[in-house]
Amino acid sequence: MLNLFQHLRTQTLPILRRQCSWTLKQVQGDDVASEWVIGVIGGSGLYDIDGLEDAEWVPVASPWGEPSDQLRIGRIAGTKFVFLPRHGRGHRIGPSGINARANIDILKRAGCTDVISLSAIGSLREELPPGKFVVVDQFVDRTVGRERSFFGNGMVAHVSVAEPVCPRMSAMLADAARKAGGDVHEGGTYLVMEGPQFSTRAESLLYRQWGCDVIGMTAMPEARLAREAELPYAIMGMVTDYDCWRDGEAHVEVDTVIAQLMANGDIAKRLVVELARSLPPGREASPIDTALDVALMTAPDKRDPQLMARLDAITARALGKR
């Protein structure tokens, strides 16, 4: 073990430091340093967004497989927005079938600088009733069997997800939701379950004991992968139900979720427009923009060429192959 750390300290880390010595202009690119490009991942009930000018559906291929859908690209208030329906138009993909790696990869390829997620969630707290908008800031990941990383044998990387969302974008998202008429709560822990079934009552009560505030099926591994792709990520959860923990409350059913989504939908769509209007004219760098600088571990001569080819968009900045 000591020899391994000596190797990392004397050989691998100096190489990585040389590779990751960038100026701010190089980090963001000539055309990204002052321009926002916002990726929007729409959850259940959100299969398009209003207000996009010159919008078109654009197919984008990914080496990670088939994404959920084409990208809807246009501008709102002069800012480029790139929309992706997480479940595909018509809601044809279940939570376990979402190819989150391909989805994040094509948003990266489309030039997104930041990503926001608009998602339906259940509430585990009395004070977060249906209709509430929750800006989530933490996750407990209980998913199983999903591909959780772009990296692996042949190119190892360990990014930090201690703080899994972007505080800057989260704050702007909260402000935009309020301007759109939403009742907003900032902060909360999202329990990500595998699904597709809803919780048992025992599970719902257990998650409350763990300190979780809301529950859903799709935010992981999406948030993890956004961090690996150096994309600041924020999530606005739209509460549709009380799950099944609450005495005297009907247990969650699909019709309940859909009815609340319809009530929340107009606010969610206005939220995107308000966000576009409130963005600062120039995008300042985020620490998340360079998350891979201290994460890449594998020495250059030990990297798997096939995996590196798939990582071309994800590692372009970090490895200087713009």
Catalytic residues: 241, 243
Peptide bond into 305 cis (omega under 30): no
Distance CA(36)–CA(280), nearest Å, equals 9
295 is in an annotated binding site: no
Indicate the helix (H) or strand (E) that contains 74: strand 71-76
Show the tokens assigned to 281.
Answer: 């004219």
In angstroms, the Cα distances linking 269 to 114, 179, 249 are 18, 12, 29
| Greatest Cα-to-Cα distance within the chain, rounded to the nearest angstrom | 63
Cβ(190)–Cβ(243) below 8 Å: no
Q: What angle do CA 194, 157, 233 make, to 5 degrees?
A: 55
218 is in an annotated binding site: yes
241 is in an annotated binding site: yes
119 is in an annotated binding site: yes
189 is in an annotated binding site: no
Residue 12 neighbours by CB distance under 10 Å: 17
| DSSP conformational letter for 281 | S
86 is in an annotated binding site: yes
Nearest-CA neighbor of 40 among 89, 107, 95?
A: 107
44 is in an annotated binding site: yes
Task: Say how many residues make up the chain.
Answer: 322
| DSSP conformational letter for 132 | E
Distance CA(70)–CA(107), nearest Å, equals 10
243 is in an annotated binding site: yes
Binding region for phosphate: 44, 86-87, 119-120, 218
Binding region: 44, 86-87, 119-120, 217-218, 241-243
Binding region for substrate: 217, 241-243
